[in-house]
Amino acid sequence: MNRAPSPSSSIASHSPTARARRCLRAMLLGAAALLLMAFALDRLFPLRLPAPDTGSTVVLSRDGTPLRAFADSDGVWRYPITAQQVSPLYLKALLTYEDRWFYRHPGINPYALARGVAGAMRYGHMVSGGSTLTMQVARVIAPIPHTFAGKLVQIFRALQLEAHLSKAQILDLYLNHAPFGGPIQGVEAASWAYLGKPASQLSHAEAALLAVLPQSPSLLRPDRHAEAARRARDKVLQRMRDENIWSAADIRDAEVEPVVARSLRSPLDAALLAERLHEQQPQARRIVTTIDANLQRALEDRVGEYLSRLPPRTSAAVLVVDNATLEARVYVGAAEFADPQRLGHVDMVRAPRSPGSTLKPFLYGLALDDGLITSQSLLVDAPQDFGGYRPGNFDETFNGPVSVAEALQRSLNVPAVDVLDRVGPNRFVARLANGGIDLGLPDGARPNLSIILGGAATRLENLVGAYTAFANGGVAAAPRYTPQQPLQQRRLLSPGAAWIIRDIMANNPADVEGAPLDGTVDSHAAVAWKTGTSYGYRDAWAIGVTDDWTFGVWIGRPDGTPSPGQYGAVTALPLMFNVAGMLPVTHSHSHRAQPANVRSVDICWPLGGAATSTPASLCRQRRTAWTLDAALPPTFAERDLTAWTGGLLSLRVDQLGRRLSATCHGKHEHQIVLARWPALATPWLRVDDAAASALPPLMPGCPTDSLDVANPIRIAGLSNGATLRQAPNSRQPLHITLRALGTTGEVQWLLDGRLQGSSLGNAGMLIALPLSGEHQITALSRNGAYAHMTVTVEKPQA
């Protein structure tokens, strides 16, 4: 039997409490269903975020300035950044204009969406998008069509972002992926591309501009549509005024600031170093270098301007290293990056080239350490034969007796080869390798005497690293290009040898454009420098050292073809002094004090001993020398001479001063001592020095001795002191044929110290005399015998 419900139960089921419970239950069930649906959709359509390391690679200077950006596989430039690295002005403008409720909403703003829909229904098109910053990120990280269905997808993705990421992570995604026109993504890349500055240093006007630019990046690009960009920027400024975010004064100043943007381009400073580091670290997205961005740009401009005056296809390289840290501050690998005519893609900082004479300071430093020389030891710059190798000087002249300091400062070749022959090429090459200079030799070649004149290959970075030894007590090191690169130091010379060689190079006069005659840039920074030129004018070098810096310049053609007339002192040295003048004097690394084992001692030529222990009659020239470890080596012994021998010579003479041979005796005979100059130096001696060193004549009747083997020679074909006159209207040099009499061996012929050629025995030698003036002709045999004559060429009378 059915019972009718009681009135009380009916009333209970329809009570407000019951209805509330049913409503709550329905809401919970609905929420659960929505959560289950959201979870299912999240699993079915997972959120795909950009991988943390995707994007372009940016190579930065030491202060964070981008040097070069490498686009990603899609051609996009993006510089990774976080909100903490962006100007607070930009963040305020962005959030105020785009999404004031960013930190409060769950990814969507219902009010903004409703407003956008109402506007679309009223005007027939969208006048207010209603998108939150999170929704914009959803569209930025994945393509979503601009349709009603696309808007639903965008809302779903925004909710997913909020569920999986923090607000800070969502904001960072926007900062790195928002579109700014062309291939530019992210505010940091846009700030550098359009404004040439980091996003941390934006003005009010610049912050407003970059905040609005992603709304329509193609139509608002400031490099193409400056007026449209200004109007959009001013809308942001007006919003900031209305919301009382920025002061009225800041707004007024910002509104009068013009919209000026650079042509859109990726930064391209130290481009070849950036490429080098990118190749070494292909997975890195931010590579911080040791480069000083401002100095780099200034020197790139200076190099470009300087190269414009040189022959076509000429390139240049410059490397500047901080002596205190061995960090490179400037790296110019080519005169103009990617210039096809100058082969601007070739990095000449690390290209192997002939070093010319730039290795000579290390040779003389090693000879000092070996106790072979002092800074003023007597060397001979004259035609010499080293086992078939006959070097000449760059200007083809010879200078006779010179000091070590003069030989290094004037970069004379014969004295350097002489010293290398005594040090040993194998040992010299091994010492250079220990100091970081690995010389490249031709296939199958062994170290030889030509190395000191450029007969091998090395790199600018190796030379600059080795030259830091002259500022760091003889310790060389490889230049460092990133702060993480380990310091690799190697002993190259002793502190004393390094100090002496630097002193010699620092006192080398530099009469070139941009350099004072005393070789200093200013009163604080004395430059020790050396130049070099490779065979055939292929490479011009100049390396300089100050207390703070070591810097090197290479100029030439990357393809190795000659550049006639372009050599170190004329081409590279002026640019090197320009570089030196642009470097700050920091005094962060002061020149070391004179080492205790370096002493100043007066020595005597030709013997080389201390002046205090040399009789005045044997001290023909007095020189003040730097000595190392109190070593006072004598002048080098001569090679392959069978008669005349330099050094101390003791003789018996009679009362008239005539020489007595071994079995010969004379009245009142006694001993005399001569200080003999090296035989090959005698043609250049002063008259009094030559007379003091000359052998006394043999007393008649005495048998000849070995000292007479070097018979004198004389020049036939022209009288000493002769005057020659050109034929009327002739502009050609006079040609004369001379012969050397009194020898059967080889004779070297010099005109005004310049080698003209050689003859054998009394064979004729054709010499071309210049048009006018007085000229010295010298015939010099290999055993030291020589003959001089002076001739004068007059212009024809009118």
Is 591 part of any domain? no
Is 93 part of any domain? yes
Q: Report the domain count for the chain.
A: 4
Shared domain check, 660 and 732: no
pLDDT of residue 331: 98
CATH of the domain at 781: 2.60.40.10
Contact 559, 385 (CB under 8 A): no
Is the bond preceding 447 in cis, omega lying within 30 degrees of 0? no
Mean pLDDT lowest for which of 35-39, 344-348, 353-357? 35-39
Q: Is the dihedral of CA 314, 478, 507, 515 positive or negative?
A: positive
Contact 466, 362 (CB under 8 A): yes
Shared domain check, 731 and 624: no
Distance CA 92, CA 350 (A): 47
Where is pLDDT greater, at 375 or 751? Answer: 375
pLDDT of residue 589: 55
Is 236 part of any domain? yes
| pLDDT tier, 143 (very low <50, low <70, confident <90, very high otherwise) | confident
Shared domain check, 181 and 204: yes
Q: Decide the pairing of beta strands 786-794 and 723-725.
A: parallel
The last residue of one of the domains, among 656, 684, 708, is 708
Q: Which of 61, 87, 98, 354 is catalytic?
A: 98
Asked if the model's pLDDT at residue 598 lies above 90, the reply is yes
Is 406 part of any domain? no
Shared domain check, 761 and 613: no
| pLDDT tier, 524 (very low <50, low <70, confident <90, very high otherwise) | very low
Distance CA 198, CA 314 (A): 35
pLDDT in tens, 397-409: 889 999 999 999 9
Asked if the model's pLDDT at residue 592 lies above 50, the reply is yes
pLDDT of residue 523: 35
Task: Give the range of the structural domain holding residue 678, as residue numbers without chain letter.
Answer: 647-708
Shared domain check, 230 and 191: yes
Q: Which of 131, 357, 563, 661 is catalytic?
A: 357
Is 575 part of any domain? no
Q: Decide the pairing of beta strands 400-403 and 475-477.
A: unpaired
The last residue of one of the domains, among 658, 677, 708, is 708
What lies within 8 Å, CB to CB, of 437 at 6+ separation is: 359, 362, 458, 462, 463, 466
pLDDT in tens, 727-773: 776 667 788 888 887 677 888 888 888 888 888 887 888 888 876 78
CATH of the domain at 222: 1.10.3810.10
Shared domain check, 731 and 609: no
Shared domain check, 719 and 703: no
Is 146 part of any domain? yes
Shared domain check, 228 and 109: yes
357 in active site: yes
pLDDT in tens, 290-338: 999 999 999 999 999 999 889 889 999 999 999 999 999 999 999 888 7
Distance CA 684, CA 687 (A): 9
Where is pLDDT greater, at 517 or 479? Answer: 479
Shared domain check, 200 and 172: yes
Tokens read off for 261: 């943007």
Shared domain check, 140 and 92: yes
Is 436 part of any domain? no
pLDDT in tens, 231-246: 999 999 999 999 999 9
Is 668 part of any domain? yes
Chain centroid offset of residue 376 CA: 32
| pLDDT tier, 93 (very low <50, low <70, confident <90, very high otherwise) | very high
Distance CA 793, CA 798 (A): 15
98 in active site: yes
pLDDT in tens, 447-499: 999 999 999 999 999 999 999 999 999 999 999 999 999 999 999 999 999 99
The last residue of one of the domains, among 669, 690, 708, is 708
Shared domain check, 212 and 132: yes
The average pLDDT across 565-569 equals 86
Shared domain check, 202 and 138: yes
